Amino acid sequence: MLNSKRLHIAAIGLLAAPFLSACNLPRDPMSVKKPTVIEFASRMGSMENDLKGKCDATEVIPFDMIDSPDVTSQFQLNCYGFKYFGQPRLAEFLFVNDALAVTVINVEPNEIPALEAAFIDTFGPPTHSKDTVLAFADTYAGVRNDPTQAVYFAEFAAPYLIDALEIRPDRE
């Protein structure tokens, strides 16, 4: 009788799984997959709306990192208290010409070995292993250890970021 009950419970779980995932229930808090709220190329106003309830506080600040005649605006949307890798964090959403291009999520320095291991477990071997960065160009993600951050970037930002990465020395 016990095995029959276990089988019945397992069957219910298999049938319910697609419906529960469609409800957008919380995912594994230690997952390093790109958080679902990050939609690259979204406009800042849309992202601010999507982040409601996911941040303790937000602020928008201008930044001037890209020097190009094609760039007309650069803003950073800071989200304090963003849940990632088991803790509330500062997440920085970087917009170029009002399109989300890069998201960095700050972590503690002592978390880098575990974060790098989680990225490798999730995304496979890094495409680039540089002095301060592990990059996973095929999945538009990376881990920086100076400053200590998880990084997710849009496909349209990848060429610029990977080019900048290429000039760094390799890890030993």
Render 126-141 in DSSP notation, one character per residue. -SEEBSSEEEEGGGTE
Count of structural domains, the chain = 1
44-75: pLDDT as tens digits? 999 999 999 999 999 999 987 766 778 778 89
Backbone angles phi, psi at 24, to 5 degrees: 60, 45
Instruction: Name, in order, each residue with C-beta under 8 angstroms of 118's C-beta and a sequence gap of 6 or more.
Output: 30, 31, 32, 85
CA distance 105 to 84: 8
147-167: pLDDT as tens digits? 999 999 999 988 888 877 776
**Has residue 85 been placed in a domain?**
yes
Question: 75 pairs with which residues across the strands?
Answer: 62, 95
Residue 2 has pLDDT above 70, yes or no: no
**Has residue 40 been placed in a domain?**
yes
**Has residue 23 been placed in a domain?**
no
**Has residue 3 been placed in a domain?**
no
- Residue 77 CB neighbours (<10 A): 21
CA distance 140 to 137: 5
Question: 106 pairs with which residues across the strands?
Answer: 149
Under a CB-based contact definition with an 8 Å cutoff, are residues 56 and 88 in contact? Answer: yes
Amino acid of residue 159: P
Q: What is the pLDDT of residue 27?
A: 64
Question: CA 48, 58, 65, 157 torsion: positive or negative?
Answer: negative
**Has residue 151 been placed in a domain?**
yes
Average pLDDT over residues 131-135: 90
**Has residue 104 been placed in a domain?**
yes
- Note down the domain range covering 111: 33-166
Residue 93 has pLDDT above 90, yes or no: yes
Question: Of 81-85, 88-92, 163-167, which range is least confident?
Answer: 163-167
CA distance 38 to 152: 9
Using the CB atoms, write b or e for 43-60: b if 16+ within 10 Å: ebeebbeebeeebeebee
